[in-house]
């Protein structure tokens, strides 16, 4: 076969296979058997191997993935992906309709669509070919995940010839159908892997997976819901959805044009009643003004379109029975009660456990073992007990009393005045506190030692290799090689953790790399109570090194911006403990950084004495970068606008509430360019 003959045959096969994909995935009406389809695909793959120069990234043979993405490029959206205004009430929906009516002063209609509980995506096409797929990100810029999106069979890689513009953008939602998600989880459990919590989390994690071949094996699906572009035809949103379907995109059939808000509410009621019958998760209904011209007239606020709103269903509730209460000890010693429940299906998952928060919550609920309880998923993710059905309580059920001793080390618990939590004070010997501090230390926002993890820390601790943070830097190849443990998961499945040669090499390499982590992250990694990521940065930049911080008195500490009595007291207490000073000395001797090392670039006192609030997205800085620049030049950064704020640095898509407050308080609002000029 000549090259020209191969090209013609490849083009014919691509067109035929794409047609069969469309009939199978979009129309659910295949015209050939799976065997016949596989023969066509195999012929295409054979020709592409023989003539590699004719292989296109948009060929259906590339759906199986295979590319490894080391990191995802961040790119700007041509059209910002704004969020929608949300409501849970009919009255707010009627208020939205009243605003639309007031602004348009004429007739209009709505289009109602399902609000799929997935991950938003922007698909860019040029000359009928998919050229880029971008996640929402912060709305102004997102991650380029084109390689992974190409594996999803309901997203066309190449459109059949049609009446579409040379360039356009399609907005859609990537999700996992429930059946595919359940099957995937069963396979993961059989292979000893941890099951995903819910379809949305699984979808988000999959899209950020670096191996597209793995992505191709995940049951991802899609619906598209919006068409945008300079030369896009269609005078209404509904018409454009019809156009998208005719071009080969998957558009949900569950949608409606509504003449007024009463018809919208009727659609919402129908969907709410029947949503459990859907084979994918939704969390509401999106309502859009249908006319494109009217959409443009209504325009946008800083973060959402004025012509659309999302009605969200309230968190699902279920009733079940409280079987028992466990008490978990965190890395700071805080003891959290956890309810063990009779398994109940709620919002797409089976719930067996729920948090009870603290002793005050337990007392307010007057919850007792054996009670019938109402549970809900806050934000559809975290189960919590909402109420107790006291009418079903068995007479004589004993009152629940919060434990008095640590469930792990039996040390009497303490409760500080004004605090809700009970604490185990045995910091040095209580196993979950030690392991918790180790897990915090290696976490991404701290030392970022990603070659370790909770399971490996468990193995190291049980083998007596790590009892403190500094012990990590005493680990050697000989100490690690051959370690192994079988861990039993909550669902009674077993997971084997083995320290083979590659694992050991990665751990030692990760520990060595962590020695270059900057001081403010090391300070956060120490796990000082109440010293979170932001507080650690403020203290590090104020005191410049660990010695200055160690010597600071309570009175001196509370003069630092946003450092109150509670934080200051915790810091003073930490450094007054000889065991902590010994730990820091060992970490310093291991090579960790305990002082600010100035970064190249602008620094000085150009912003000394000035207080800044930063909001929005910037062209030449990340948000953290601009904050760091302020601090390096002597300025202070606050999270909220107040009368003490000197400047609000405003980027694109900034928070409207911050702008309003700045204007009310006469705080000067400056652009990124004006900020750069201030640096001189």
Q: How many domains does the chain have?
A: 6
Q: Give the integer Cα–Cα distance in Å for 571 and 343.
A: 43
Contacts of 364 (CB under 8 A, 6+ apart): none
Helices (H), 378-485: 431-442, 454-462, 477-480
In a domain, 402, yes or no: yes
Calpha distance 255→261 (Å, rounded): 15
pLDDT at 599: 52
| CB 273, CB 254: distance < 8 Å | no
404 domain-assigned: yes
Which distant-in-sequence residues (6+ apart) come within 8 Å of 361 by Cβ? none
> In whole angstroms, what is the distance from residue 515 CA to residue 20 CA?
55
Give yes or no: residues 440 and 416 share one domain: no
508 and 536 part of one domain: no
Beta strand segments in 158-205, E: 167-175
Statement to judge: residues 254 and 126 lie in one domain: yes
- Dump pLDDT digits (tens) for 648-673: 999 877 767 678 788 888 899 999 98
Contact 284, 59 (CB under 8 A): no
Question: In whole numbers, what is the pLDDT of the chain averaged over residues?
Answer: 87
Collect all residues with Cβ–Cβ distance below 8 Å to 261 and sequence separation of at least 6.
93, 94, 97, 110
Q: Are both 156 and 293 inside the same structural domain? A: yes
Do residues 144 and 248 both lie within one domain?
Answer: yes
| Residue 268 counted as domain residue | no
CATH of the domain at 479: 1.10.150.20
DSSP 461-500: HHTTS-SSGGGGGG--HHHHTT-EEEEEPTTS-EEEEE--
Domain membership flag for residue 90: no
Q: Is 115 a catalytic residue?
A: yes
The rounded distance, in Å, linking the Cα atoms of 337 and 327 is 4
Tokens representing 350 are: 């089976």
Residue 630 belongs to some domain of the structure: yes
pTM of the model: 0.50
Same domain, 543 and 665: no
Return the structure tokens found at 432: 């979950």
The CATH number for 31's domain is 1.10.287.610
For residues 535, 540, 546, 547, the Cα torsion angle rounded to the nearest 10 degrees is: -110
Segments of 233-329 assigned E as strands: 255-258, 282-289, 308-312, 317-329
Residues 174 and 249 in one domain: yes
Query: Are 119 and 148 in a shared domain?
Result: yes
Q: Do both 470 and 387 map to the same domain?
A: no
Distance CA 119, CA 123 (A): 13
Provide the CATH number for the domain around residue 351.
2.40.50.140
Q: Is residue 269 part of a domain?
A: no
Using an 8 Å Cβ cutoff, are 32 and 19 in contact? no
Q: Which two tokens stand for residue 151?
A: 């594996």
* Residues 135 and 143 sit within 8 Å (Cβ to Cβ): yes
Using CA atoms, how far apart are residues 670 and 660, in angstroms rounded to an integer? 14
- Asked whether residue 512 falls in the same domain as residue 526, the answer is no
Range of the domain at 140: 76-84+112-258+279-297
Q: 465-469 — which CB contacts under 8 Å span 24+ positions?
A: 466/438, 467/434, 468/434, 468/583, 468/586, 469/437, 469/438, 469/441, 469/525, 469/526, 469/583, 469/587
* Residues 152 and 246 grouped into a single domain: yes
In a domain, 91, yes or no: no
Six-digit token string for 87:
């409501």
Does 241 share its domain with 193? yes
pLDDT reported for residue 184: 85
Low-confidence ranges of the chain (pLDDT < 70): 24-30, 34-35, 63-70, 187-195, 197, 315, 347-348, 377-382, 418, 488-493, 562, 598-603, 655, 657
Query: Which strands, in side-by-side order, build the sheet including 110-116?
Result: 86-87, 308-312, 282-289, 110-116, 255-258
pLDDT of 372 reads 95
Rounded to an integer, what distance in angstroms lies between the CA atom of residue 101 and that of residue 498? 65
Nearest CA to 675 out of 608, 612, 617 is that of 612
Q: Report the CATH number that the domain containing residue 126 is assigned in CATH.
A: 3.30.470.30
Q: Residue for token digits 């009733």?
A: 319
Domain ends where: 516, 551, 574?
Answer: 516
Q: Catalytic: which of 42, 115, 208, 456? A: 115
Domain assignment present for 67:
no
Q: Which of 498, 516, 534 is the last residue of a domain?
A: 516
Give the chain's length: 680
Instruction: Give which of 73, 79, 200, 81 is closest to 147, Cα–Cα.
Output: 73
pLDDT the model gives residue 493: 67
pLDDT computed for residue 602 by the predictor: 46
């Amino acid at each position: 076969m000549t090259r020209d003959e191969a090209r013609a045959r490849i083009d014919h096969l691509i067109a035929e296979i794409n047609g069969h994909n469309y009939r199978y995935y979009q129309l659910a009406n295949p015209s050939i058997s799976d065997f016949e389809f596989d023969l066509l695909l195999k012929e295409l793959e054979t020709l592409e191997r023989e003539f590699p120069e004719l292989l296109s990234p948009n060929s259906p043979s590339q759906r199986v993935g295979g590319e490894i993405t080391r990191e995802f490029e961040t790119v700007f959206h041509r059209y910002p992906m704004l969020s929608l205004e949300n409501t849970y009430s009919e009255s707010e929906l009627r208020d939205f309709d009243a605003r639309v009516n007031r602004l348009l002063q004429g007739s209009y209609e709505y289009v109602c669509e399902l609000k799929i509980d997935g991950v938003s995506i922007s698909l860019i096409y040029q000359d009928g070919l998919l050229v880029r797929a971008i996640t929402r990100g912060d709305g102004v810029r997102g991650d380029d995940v084109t390689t992974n999106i190409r594996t999803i069979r309901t997203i066309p890689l190449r459109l059949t010839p049609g009446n579409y513009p040379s360039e356009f953008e399609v907005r859609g939602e990537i999700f996992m159908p429930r059946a595919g998600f359940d099957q995937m989880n069963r396979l993961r459990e059989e292979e000893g892997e941890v099951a995903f919590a819910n379809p949305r989390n699984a979808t988000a994690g999959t899209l950020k997976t670096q191996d597209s071949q793995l992505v191709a094996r995940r049951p991802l699906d899609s619906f598209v819901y919006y068409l945008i572009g300079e030369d896009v035809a269609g005078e209404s949103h509904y018409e454009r959805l019809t156009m998208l379907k005719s071009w080969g995109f998957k558009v949900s059939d569950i949608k409606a044009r509504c003449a007024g808000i009463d018809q919208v509410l009727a659609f919402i009621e129908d969907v709410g009643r029947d949503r459990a019958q859907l084979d994918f998760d939704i969390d509401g209904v999106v309502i859009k003004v249908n006319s494109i011209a009217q959409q443009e007239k209504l325009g946008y606020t800083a973060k959402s379109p004025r012509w659309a709103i999302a009605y969200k269903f309230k968190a699902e509730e279920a009733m079940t029975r409280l079987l028992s209460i466990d008490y978990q000890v965190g890395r700071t010693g805080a003891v959290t009660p956890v309810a063990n429940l009779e398994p109940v299906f709620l919002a797409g998952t089976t719930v067996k456990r729920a948090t009870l928060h603290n002793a005050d919550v337990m007392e307010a609920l007057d919850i007792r073992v054996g009670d019938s309880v109402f549970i809900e998923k806050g934000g559809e993710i975290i189960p919590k007990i909402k109420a107790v059905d006291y009418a079903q309580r068995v007479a004589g059920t004993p009152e629940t009393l919060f434990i008095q001793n640590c469930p792990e080390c039996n040390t009497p618990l303490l409760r500080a005045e004004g605090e809700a939590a009970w604490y185990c004070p045995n910091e040095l010997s209580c196993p979950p506190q030690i392991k918790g501090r180790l897990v915090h230390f290696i976490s991404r926002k701290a030392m970022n030692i990603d070659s370790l993890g909770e399971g490996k820390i468990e193995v190291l601790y049980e083998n007596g290799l790590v009892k403190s943070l500094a012990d990590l830097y005493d680990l050697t190849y000989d100490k690690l090689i051959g370690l192994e443990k079988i861990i039993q998961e909550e669902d009674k499945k077993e997971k084997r953790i083995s320290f083979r040669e590659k694992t050991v090499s990665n751990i030692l390499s990760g520990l060595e790399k962590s020695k270059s982590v900057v001081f403010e992250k090391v300070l956060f990694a120490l796990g000082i109570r109440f010293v979170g990521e932001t507080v650690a940065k403020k203290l590090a930049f104020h005191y410049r090194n660990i010695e200055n911080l160690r010597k600071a008195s309570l009175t001196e500490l509370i003069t630092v911006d946003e450092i109150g009595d509670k934080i200051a007291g915790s810091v003073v207490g930490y450094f007054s403990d000889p065991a902590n000073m010994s730990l820091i000395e060992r970490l310093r001797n291991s090579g960790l950084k305990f002082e600010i090392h100035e970064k190249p670039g602008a620094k000085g006192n150009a912003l000394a004495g000035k207080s800044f609030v930063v909001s929005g997205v910037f062209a030449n800085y990340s948000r953290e970068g601009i904050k760091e620049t302020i601090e390096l030049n002597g300025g202070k950064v606050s999270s909220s606008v107040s009368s003490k704020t000197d400047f609000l640095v405003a980027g694109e898509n900034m928070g409207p509430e911050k702008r309003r407050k700045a204007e009310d308080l006469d705080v000067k609002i400056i652009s990124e360019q004006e900020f750069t000029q201030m640096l001189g």
